[in-house]
Structure 1
Amino acid sequence: MADTLIIYGKPDCIRCDQLVKYCRRKGIPYRYIDVTQDADALALVKSLGYSELPVGMIGDDHFSGVRLDKIRPLAPQLSKAS
């Protein structure tokens, strides 16, 4: 079973909204964390070396941006996990 997709984003972030909308359309479960409201989450994103949002994490794999190439292969497993 795959881990849950975690999306780190912020309000008024077009790319964050695109990733969330894609997950909703495809029925991919995710957990959204607003880094403007969670200092620990922001620190984690920065510690991974990212300066742009969204940042997605699936298990130990992480990426910045709308990386459908990272999500698509795992989508069936993520959907079954819900």
Structure 2
Amino acid sequence: MDNIVVYSKNNCMQCKMTKRYLSEHNVNFQEINVSNEPEYIDYLKGLGYQSVPVVMQNDNNPIVGFRPDALKGLVD
């Protein structure tokens, strides 16, 4: 699976756990850190999200928070 984007921020334990889970399962993803790129905060808020991590993949439903049960669906 491709085109996975993880929106995260600094000092976010759920973000770290989500990225670790994906990395340990060899899932390639692009990280957008809203602490370093604050313009994405308004983008996420505009979509109705109030917290990170938000994992988006193509047209699938986004995964919000550390959800190993949902992340399992991204593992080949």
TM over 0.5: yes
Report the identity percentage.
Answer: 27
Name the stretch that deviates more: 27-36 or 64-73. Answer: 64-73
Q: Distance in 2 between the 1:70 and 1:11 partners? A: 23
TM-score, normalising length from structure 1? 0.79
Contact between 2:34 and 2:40, CA under 8 Å: does it hold in 1?
Answer: yes
Distance in 1 (alpha carbons) for counterparts of 2:74 and 2:65: 17
2: distance between equivalents of 1:74 and 1:58?
A: 8
1:48 CA drift (Å): 1.4
Determine the structure 1 residue equivalent to 2:15: 16
RMSD: 1.4
**Residue in 2 that maps onto 1:46:** 45
Aligned equivalents of 1:24, 1:34: Cα separation in 2: 16
Count of equivalent residues: 75
Structure 2 segments unaligned to the other structure (5+ residues): none
Segments of 4+ in structure 1 off by > 4 A?
none
Shift of 1:70: 2.8
In terms of mean alpha carbon deviation, does 40-49 or 16-25 score higher? 40-49
Matched AA of 2:16: D
- Which residue is equivalent to 2:67? 67
